[in-house]
Structure formats: structure tokens, C-alpha cells
Structure 1
Amino acid sequence: MKISAILALVLVEVAFAQDAPYDVFPNAQPPYYRVRYDASPNEGELQLAVQYTIWIPPNVKTLRGVVVHQHGCGEGSCKSGLTGAFDLHWQALAAKHDCALLSPVYEQPQNADCQLWCDPRNGSDATFQKALADLGEASHHPELETLPWALWGHSGGATWVGGMTLLHPDRVAAAWLRSGVPLVVARPDRPSAKTVDLPDEPLPVPMMLNLGTKEGVTVTDGRFSGLWPTVQRFFKPLRERGGLIGIAIDPLTGHECGNQRYLAIPWFDACLELRLPAKSGEPLRSIPNEQTWLAAVRETTAMPEASFNGDREASVWLPNQQVAEAWMQYVSDTKVADSSPPPPPTNIKSSGGKLTWDAAADLESGIAYFIIERGGKELGKVPPSPKNPYGRPLFQGLLYSDTPTQPLVRMQFSLDEKSPASGDYRVISVNSAGLRSSGAE
């Protein structure tokens, strides 16, 4: 790494030590890298400080894309982004496709206008692209500057994702918008929000608009009840023009993310498989029509495009049968099925009265907890009681904006004083669908 890059990273750590409340965050040691930029006083540039943390899959020589996990508006949501790049489940998606996982954090004071960053035209687009170049230098992956993006966003983050997709359709492989969309019709109650122009030609980027039923679908009053009409205004013209866009209504939630990752990650998996070029640096591929499934927006049944008799210009677009089956389950009760066990833990070590290990998350269902055994007898679980107030219990926990809780949970288990320092210890991963891995020793 160049001296300038090392100094920049040191300055980042110093700056964070001085800037509450964004001064508590996981350390960014390789394979993690972090850059931070101060707010700009110049008109048209980003007027909020921002940091970007990226995870690079180990042993990947050349990256093929960047998965971006973008938080929502408000101080609490912004702070939740501090752990986004450390999410094992999203890392599993990124690693499968040789992609980096990037989590931005806009240091927005609680009462500041969210449009300062969630409208990319206010400087966040340019700063994001600068960060990719700087992170590419720091991580020795200069290709980061030009790679395609898979964009996920919540609330104001979804507004940003939609805006970036319309601004850069040639760079976006796929886009998931949870509980937010860009404005296509001006709203008097949001005078600071600028509307966006939709393209006349079909948008080639697969997009999914995901919201909770309590955001105006079946609950039509309250803070977020205006979202459903806004989503429809964004969806309708894009779909009528042949856009590859769908809607997934969460039947259980309001503005919180709930269990959406169990549809979002398989959806991204399918889209990246179809869109990413075989060789890094080549253009994104178009999605073929042969595998497409369609569904009516408010229904729970999807079918192959050739069998669909409804209004195609108002239908939900789905990339293939596997995703369609997950969508049908998700919009019914969010209990997306999984039949494949998680990968087993690796690198089991016993030292200093503690058992430690490494583990990759199951692509479909993440990690709920670990079972520790010795001699065929269960010694305990990590964590003993996994929690998640917004959906399925998870090993890393889950915040409102779909990121792990702090401090990050470690893969370790305290051994009893009577337990031998070494022996036939086994660690078993259990995913959020209840499936167990084979044990690692």
C-alpha cells in the first residue's frame, strides 16, 4: 500500500475519534477497508460527512462487481450502516459472485434533511464513485472504480438506489428498493425533494420494489401510509415501457425490513448470475426472456410468462422459477423455504479456555446459531438465545435497517474449567430455516 493511502486510513481513524455519534464502529482491518470524507462547503457537493466500509472476499484476484447495502434516513438508520459490510449473510452473496460488499454511512444529524444525501444529484453520487476509486487503491483492487453495482437500499436508501439506477443504468446490475422510491410526482409536503425523470425506453436493469403491507397497502393511515401510492406511481410507467420491475409486498411488516433478505438475496443471486459478464470489465449482459415468470401485484401466485393471462404491463416481473417460488412464499407469509444445509464451520481452535472457529453463512438462510459438542454431547449454543425483533432470529442479530447489531458477535465459546484444552470438539452451524451443517472438528 502506498504511503499516502496508509496516511489517509490513519487520518480516517483519527477523524472518527473526534466525531460523535459516528465514532463507535468495528475496526476495518483487511479484508475490510474504510475511507471517510468531510462535508463539503461547496454548492452541489455532498454537504454531509460520509464514510464507506468495504469487504473484499479473500483470495479473489479480480473482482466482478460491488454489492452496496445502503441504510435509510435519520441518525439511527445511518449509524446502523456502520456494520453493513460485516454482515455474514450479505457477504455470502457477494463472495459467490466475486463481488465486494460496500456499506456507506452518511453522518446525518437527526434533524437534517435526508435529501442532502439520498438524492444522488446532491453530491452523494460523485462521492460514492470517488470512494470506490480510493478503496480500490487501498485494497489493491483498482478495478473497483469501474465495476458494475448491485444496489440495495432501505427507505431513503431506496430513494438513493432508484436515483442511481436511473442515472447509471449501464452500471447497475440489479436494484432492490425497500420502503422507498424516487419521486416522479412532486409532493407539497416534501418541497425539498426533487422529482426524477423516467426513461422513455425500457429500463434494462432488474428492479424490485419491496414494502410492508402497513405502508399504505392494507393499513392506510399513519406515518408511512403514503408509500404505497408513491410506489405505484414509480412502478406503473416503468413496467408499461417494458422495464424488468416487480413488487413484493411483505404481509407482516411496516417500515422495518423484516424477513426481506430471504427473498432479496436469492433475487440478487439470480440477477447477478444472469447479468454479470464472465470477464471483469466487460459490459453487463441482458437478461433473456425464456425464464421469466409473471404475477399480479396483489396476488400470491406467479406463473411462467407464456401461461400468464393477466395484464402484462401491470405485472410483477420475476427472473426465473426459483425466485418466483420464493416470491410466492414471501408475499404469503415471508417463510421462504430452504432445503440446503449451511456450510460447516472451519478452523476450530481451542486456546485460553475458549473455543473459536470460522464460518461462512448459508446463502439462502444465513446463520441463526452454532451448536457446540464434545464427545457427541451438546455443551451449549452461540448465542444461547438468538434474537431479532424484526424477523427470524440470527447469530449477528439484526437492526431496523437490516444490519448486524454492535458490538459484533464473535465466533467463540467459553469452555468449562473442567473441559480439556483439546479434544473432539465439534461446531455445527444452524441456519435460520433450522437446517444443520455437518459438524466441524
Structure 2
Amino acid sequence: MMKIIPSIALIVVSFAGLAFTQDFPREMPAQTVPPYYAVRYEAGAAPGGLVYGVIYSIWVPPDVNTLRGVIVHQHGCGAGAGITGLTGAFDLHWQALARKYDCALLSPAYEQPSDGACPLWADPRNGSRETFIKALFDLGEKSGHPELASVPWALWGHSGGANWAGGMAFLHPERTAALWLNSGAVTVEPNPSLPSDKPYELSPAGLMIPIMCNQGVQEGISKPDGRFAHVLTRFQFLIRSLRSRGGLIGHAVDPLTEHACGNQRYLAIPWFDACLSARLPEKNGDALSPMPQDAAWLAPLLGGEAVPAAQYKGNIDQSVWLPNQKIAKAWMSYRKDTGVEDATPPPAPRNLKVVGNKLSWTAEADLESGLSYFIIERDGEFLAKVPESDELTQGRPLFQCLYNGDTPRQPLPEMSYTDQTAEAGVEHSYRITAVNTVGLQSIQ
């Protein structure tokens, strides 16, 4: 007999048999079952249509009655980046943010071949805008949440995906609650030094969007002649364009990376938390609320210290806008070493089951610091760590190891463990403890 000590999580669904290769799979993800849904669209044949196929996967919080928004996690350019988009909706950490605000979590996966041109999807004016909007309608119908077609967006994008997210924000500012641009930017006015850029129209609603520009220090700062030096150039132009008009735009430098996402999620998720808390309307159909201005902090562009806005003495046109003191302090820690602090333990695992000698459980990620690993105890003594070792991942070790595009690696890990040393006929008690990425343990 085995005695179970109840503890606490969330069901993980895997893409069975899907390998990470340069040949993009031409079928829907396997085992995409509620609360996960997916649609795929073939490349459009009509002029102006999307030239690549695309899969949109979405997670809907199981207990939500009415969705209030959708968080979009957009991958970057290339065939490999496109495949990483298949797991974005399965990310437990981003799901924690979505769950808090009754939002869906959506991840596109564009089928760009290795020799394909990125702007053919990364510029939403080339057909990806219309396809995305259609996907919201179709996924809303599939999931039983037709409001998905009209709720606000929180947009996150990396590299070419940042170009797409920024384009969508300025094309639809009235629907964009917040925008995170990771290593990619757009322009909102002609720039003689970037003549190939086609600017987006900047409206009063666009100036109300809280925006964070995020890049690695090696993208033009410590390596001014590097491959990605253009990232800094484009960010500087966009920031000056918006801050000179009162736009709410910030800039966060990762001191450890070049074009990788690194530990950005530990600042991005709290930042989205602050923005969604302030902007999402309680009633669907109502307009987004403006961001409060009385709590804002400012810092000099490429600086490391922020102060309350009223105390800032620098050039406003080249300043970093931060929504409040909490985010400003997290920003300063991130700017120093990406070590954003967190004093809250993760949720305790639940639904512990034992079948034979196999244990399984569910768990939700810590909103601030994600989910790093589990500790399994048997009869009050340490038995195992799951996963057993820290695999190669981007940034801090996570239970769901990350691709470069900040999405979980395949195959997705299961919350399970087989006790090979359990003695037949002996009653054992088990306890599962969750540990977040700053080492805090769940409280049983």
C-alpha cells in the first residue's frame, strides 16, 4: 500500500513525435486537446496574402467563463524559430500570467523555409495581420470563447517577431494593452538612416501603449560593429520618436546576452502584470484604460538608475519610461545582472497520484520566477529531483527548458517519476515540492 500526501499544478500536453528539425512539420501538433486548441492555414494564393503556411496554437485557462484578453508570444525569423513557436502556448510560466487576467495564451508558428524572406510574414502588412485576425475568430469558435475575436492584445515578440508585434500594435493601437519588443523594432516616422523602413502611422492611441524595448548588451552597445548593432540604432530612433511626443516607452538592456532572450521573462512578465492590471477593462467591449502617470519612474537611456518621474533631470526625449517603483527596481536589478528578486514561493503541486510505482502530479508556475524543478520525498526523506539535472537552456534552469526564442523545448517534460526502489508490500508516503528559479520552495 502507498499513502499519498496531497500537495499541488497543471496538465502538460506534449507534441508526440515532433522533432526539432529544419523541415517544418506540415500538420497540426499532435494531442492538442482542451484546454489547447490549434488551427493551420495554407499559404495564400491571392495577391497580398500570406506566402507561408502558419499554425496558431492557443491555451485557454480551463475555469475561465469570459476571456478578457489574449497574450501573444511571437517567435523570430527562420525555419528553426518557426518550429519553436509550436510550444509557446504550452509555457507554464506565461500561462501563470495569462491565468491571472483570464487571458488566452497564443503562439503562432510560421512555416518560413530556411531560404525564405522573413518580412513576408514579420511585416503584418504582407498578409499576416489578416491571417492572425482570422485565427482569433476560428480559435474563438473552437474553444467556445467567441469573445477572443474582440478582446485586447498583449504582444511579445523576439527579433523578426518584434517587428511583427510592433507593426500590429501601431496598426491596432486601440486593441494593444502592452507591447514588448525583444531585439527588434519598427519605425513610426521616416528615418533617413533607415531608408528601407516603411513607417507605421502614429496615432494618439499609439502613444498610450506601454512599450518596452529589450536587447542584449552585445547588440550594438558593447559590440558597436557587431552583427546585431542595428538593434540599438532602431531602438534609439523609436524611443526618441515616441518620448518626444509623450509616448510610454522604456528600454531594458540584458548585460549577459547578444541576440538570445536570456532571462528577459523575469522582467517581462512582471512588466506585463503591471500593464494589464492598469489597462484591461473589467467589461468586454469597453476601451482600454490609460496607464497611470503619477507613479512613473524615469531613467536615462542606457543608464542603470531610475528615479521617480518628478525627480528626473535628464533629457526626456532620451529617457526610459517605467510604470511604477516596483518595476523600476526590477529593471535596475535586471540591468545589473538580470537577477530580478522574488520573495514569493511557488504554488504547491497538487493532484498527486501513484499507480504502481509511478508518481504523477500537476503544478502551476510561479508568476514571478517560473518553475525550476521538483523535490520528491518518500517517507520524509529526499528521494529524487525532477528533472535530475539542469539541462542546457536559455537563462536560468527551468523545468521546461527553453529554446532561444523563449519557448519550451520538445519533447515537453512530464510531471512524473518512477520510484525504482519502492518495496513491494511496503506502505510509503510521498510529498512533492515545487522550487522556483530563485530557489524558493512551495509551502505544503
The TM-score with structure 2 as length reference comes to 0.91
State the partner residue of 1:432: 437
1:315 to 315, 319, 325: 319
The superposition leaves residues 367-386 of structure 1 with CA deviations (integer Å, 9 ceiling, x where unpaired) of 00000001211110110112
Shift of 1:301: 1.0
Identify if the C-alpha distance between structure 1 residues 187 and 401 changes in structure 2 by more than 3 Å, giving closer, same or farther: farther
State the partner residue of 1:253: 257
The answer for unaligned runs of 5 or more in structure 1 is: 1-12, 14-18
Q: 2:171–2:200: 8 Å Cα contact kept in structure 1? A: no
Instruction: For 1:175 and 1:415, locate their aligned partners in 2 and report how far apart those are by CA, in whole Å.
Output: 45
State the partner residue of 2:9: none
Identify if the C-alpha distance between structure 1 residues 181 and 422 changes in structure 2 by more than 3 Å, giving closer, same or farther: farther
Instruction: For 2:180 and 2:326, locate their aligned partners in 1 and report how far apart those are by CA, in whole Å.
Output: 17
State the partner residue of 2:370: 366
The superposition leaves residues 244-285 of structure 1 with CA deviations (integer Å, 9 ceiling, x where unpaired) of 100001111000000000000000000000000112221110
Identify if the C-alpha distance between structure 1 residues 26 and 91 changes in structure 2 by more than 3 Å, giving closer, same or farther: farther
The superposition leaves residues 151-188 of structure 1 with CA deviations (integer Å, 9 ceiling, x where unpaired) of 00000000001101110110000000000001455689
SS of the residue 1:427 aligns to:
strand
Q: 2:140–2:149: 8 Å Cα contact kept in structure 1? A: yes
Alignment of 1:130-141 (within 5 A): 130-141=134-145
Instruction: For 1:412 and 1:269, locate their aligned partners in 2 and report how far apart those are by CA, in whole Å.
Output: 30
Instruction: For 1:39 and 1:201, locate their aligned partners in 2 and report how far apart those are by CA, in whole Å.
Output: 32
Identify if the C-alpha distance between structure 1 residues 202 and 354 changes in structure 2 by more than 3 Å, giving closer, same or farther: closer
Alignment of 1:324-335 (within 5 A): 324-335=328-339
Q: 1:26–1:83: 8 Å Cα contact kept in structure 2? A: no
Shift of 1:83: 0.3
State the partner residue of 1:74: 78
107-116 or 215-224: bigger deviation: 215-224
State the partner residue of 1:6: none
Matching of residue 21 in structure 1 with residue 38 in structure 2: no
SS of the residue 2:173 aligns to:
coil
Instruction: For 1:131 and 1:186, locate their aligned partners in 2 and report how far apart those are by CA, in whole Å.
Output: 33
Instruction: For 2:180 and 2:34, locate their aligned partners in 1 and report how far apart those are by CA, in whole Å.
Output: 28
1:409 to 406, 413, 418: 413
Shift of 1:303: 1.2
Instruction: For 2:323 and 2:270, locate their aligned partners in 1 and report how far apart those are by CA, in whole Å.
Output: 11
Alignment of 1:21-420 (within 5 A): 21-23=24-26, 25=29, 27-183=31-187, 185=190, 194-199=198-203, 203-419=207-423
Identify if the C-alpha distance between structure 1 residues 26 and 268 changes in structure 2 by more than 3 Å, giving closer, same or farther: farther
The superposition leaves residues 11-41 of structure 1 with CA deviations (integer Å, 9 ceiling, x where unpaired) of xx9xxxxx95225845210000000000011
Q: 2:173–2:206: 8 Å Cα contact kept in structure 1? A: no
Q: 1:52–1:103: 8 Å Cα contact kept in structure 2? A: yes
214-223 or 22-31: bigger deviation: 22-31
State the partner residue of 1:8: none
The answer for unaligned runs of 5 or more in structure 2 is: 1-15, 17-21
258-267 or 352-361: bigger deviation: 352-361
Identify if the C-alpha distance between structure 1 residues 46 and 358 changes in structure 2 by more than 3 Å, giving closer, same or farther: same
Shift of 1:335: 0.4
Q: Which has the higher contact order (CA 8 A, sep 6+)?
A: 2
Instruction: For 1:108 and 1:122, locate their aligned partners in 2 and report how far apart those are by CA, in whole Å.
Output: 14
- 2:213 aligned partner, one-letter code: L
The superposition leaves residues 227-255 of structure 1 with CA deviations (integer Å, 9 ceiling, x where unpaired) of 11111111111111000100001111000
The TM-score with structure 1 as length reference comes to 0.92
Matched-pair identity in %:
54
Q: How many equivalent residue pairs?
A: 422
- 2:217 aligned partner, one-letter code: T
Instruction: For 1:339 and 1:200, locate their aligned partners in 2 and report how far apart those are by CA, in whole Å.
Output: 38
93-102 or 284-293: bigger deviation: 284-293
Shift of 1:314: 1.9
Instruction: For 1:110 and 1:372, locate their aligned partners in 2 and report how far apart those are by CA, in whole Å.
Output: 43
Instruction: For 1:290 and 1:319, locate their aligned partners in 2 and report how far apart those are by CA, in whole Å.
Output: 9
Shift of 1:419: 4.1
Identify if the C-alpha distance between structure 1 residues 27 and 186 changes in structure 2 by more than 3 Å, giving closer, same or farther: farther
Instruction: For 1:235 and 1:107, locate their aligned partners in 2 and report how far apart those are by CA, in whole Å.
Output: 32
Shift of 1:418: 2.7
Instruction: For 2:237 and 2:202, locate their aligned partners in 1 and report how far apart those are by CA, in whole Å.
Output: 11
Instruction: For 1:182 and 1:209, locate their aligned partners in 2 and report how far apart those are by CA, in whole Å.
Output: 11
Identify if the C-alpha distance between structure 1 residues 331 and 188 changes in structure 2 by more than 3 Å, giving closer, same or farther: closer
Q: 1:355–1:414: 8 Å Cα contact kept in structure 2? A: yes
Shift of 1:196: 3.0
Q: 1:200–1:241: 8 Å Cα contact kept in structure 2? A: no
Q: 2:151–2:285: 8 Å Cα contact kept in structure 1? A: yes
Q: 1:66–1:148: 8 Å Cα contact kept in structure 2? A: yes
SS of the residue 2:94 aligns to:
helix
SS of the residue 2:33 aligns to:
coil
The superposition leaves residues 62-104 of structure 1 with CA deviations (integer Å, 9 ceiling, x where unpaired) of 0000000000000111111110000000000000000000000
Q: 2:357–2:422: 8 Å Cα contact kept in structure 1? A: no
Instruction: For 2:104 and 2:374, locate their aligned partners in 1 and report how far apart those are by CA, in whole Å.
Output: 26
Q: 1:350–1:422: 8 Å Cα contact kept in structure 2? A: no
